[in-house]
Amino acid sequence: MRWNRWSVLSTKQFWCVCALLLLTLVYCPAVSAGAWLQQPDRLLYASTQSAYSSHAYFDASGNRTDQPAFLKAESNHYLEYGYDEDWTLGANLFAQLLRQEVAGRSEVSDNMGLADSELFAKYLVWKNDQAVLSLSPLLKLPSLYAHSTLPKAGSDSVDAELSLMAGYGFSYDEGHHFVDARLGLRHRFDTTLEDQIKFDIKLGYELYPYWFVIPALSLTAATATPSAINYSESGQNNYHLLKLEGTVLYKLNDRTYIQFGAFEHVAGRNTGEGVGALFGVGRQY
């Protein structure tokens, strides 16, 4: 079922979803990013390749509107380093190839570059044998593209974010499972862009030994959105986005995994509507 309007999530429902984070403690195994910190002098590196296709967007009212095809191929490189028992340092880097069809003409517009790279840290607030709670400050850098014209999937702004991250691991039916969640507030220093609320939650269920099924939900909500339509294939938008993702992860050993899956932008305002697929490899050193 496709959701054509953002209004399926009322303001009250949105805050109820966010409140789930405060009731959830999250555990992340070594191969997963999340609330769990890396051990001192340990490095986690994950490389994910994805492709995204869109033929429509959600307008300022949340209605689906057709548009010329937009394609994005992305290479994501994620690193975490355990500085000590209380701090983990990291970087999240994105390289993109973009293609946008031109309406009414048999032409395309291409672009490539680095989009919305992030530098972050995680500070351990509390943990026990199963649960962990941490804080994560983050700095988003401006995107760098070969051409200044559209399409651009990233934004030109510098952003700062602070997130509360939490997790819990549990055993059930001879499997080891986890829940991972994050609630963050992102300040965008560009005065034309509103701040954002970020909420993510995922469940890792060990279906068979070493095989995990991981459904995930990601929500971005601007603190204000315009009433007029001003959507463009760019990160320079004030937007809402609800994204659903499903992946399968296989642990080759205690330090290495492969992962593949698909995702969909199912609802939003002033943002693209589309689907994508991904494949990733990660290893802890």
Q: Which of 107-116, 221-230, 252-261 has the lowest mean pLDDT?
A: 221-230
pLDDT tens, position by position, 187-200: 999 998 999 999 99
Residue 195: other Cβ atoms inside 10 A = 17
Q: What pLDDT digit, counting tens, does each position of 51-91 carry? A: 999 999 999 889 999 999 999 999 999 999 999 999 999 99
pLDDT at 3: 39
Residue 136 near residue 33, CB atoms below 8 Å: no
pLDDT for 33 equals 59
CA 135 to chain centre: 17
Strand partners, 148: none
Burial tier of 255 (Cβ tally within 10 Å: 0-12, 13-18, 19+): middle
From 235, 232, 240, 246, select the one nearest 276 (Cα to Cα). 246
> pTM value?
0.86
Of the pLDDT bands very low, low, confident and very high (cuts 50, 70, 90), residue 19 is very low
Least confident among 29-33, 75-79, 168-172: 29-33
pLDDT of 106: 75
**For the chain, what's the residue count?**
285
120-129 residue pLDDT tens: 999 999 999 9
- Asked if the bond preceding 151 is cis, omega within 30° of 0, the reply is yes
**Predicted local confidence at residue 27, as pLDDT:** 32
Kindly state the average pLDDT of the residues 28-38: 67
Q: Is the pLDDT of residue 16 over 80?
A: no
Q: Are 85 and 124 in contact (CB under 8 A)?
A: yes
Domain ranges of the chain: 6-284
Q: Does domain 6-284 have CATH number 2.40.160.40?
A: yes
**78 and 46 Cβ atoms separated by less than 8 Å:** yes
The pLDDT tens digits of the residues spanning 142-156 come to 999 999 998 999 999
What's the mean pLDDT in 217-238?
Answer: 82
Mean pLDDT score, 219-242: 83
- Is residue 167 scored above 90 in pLDDT? yes
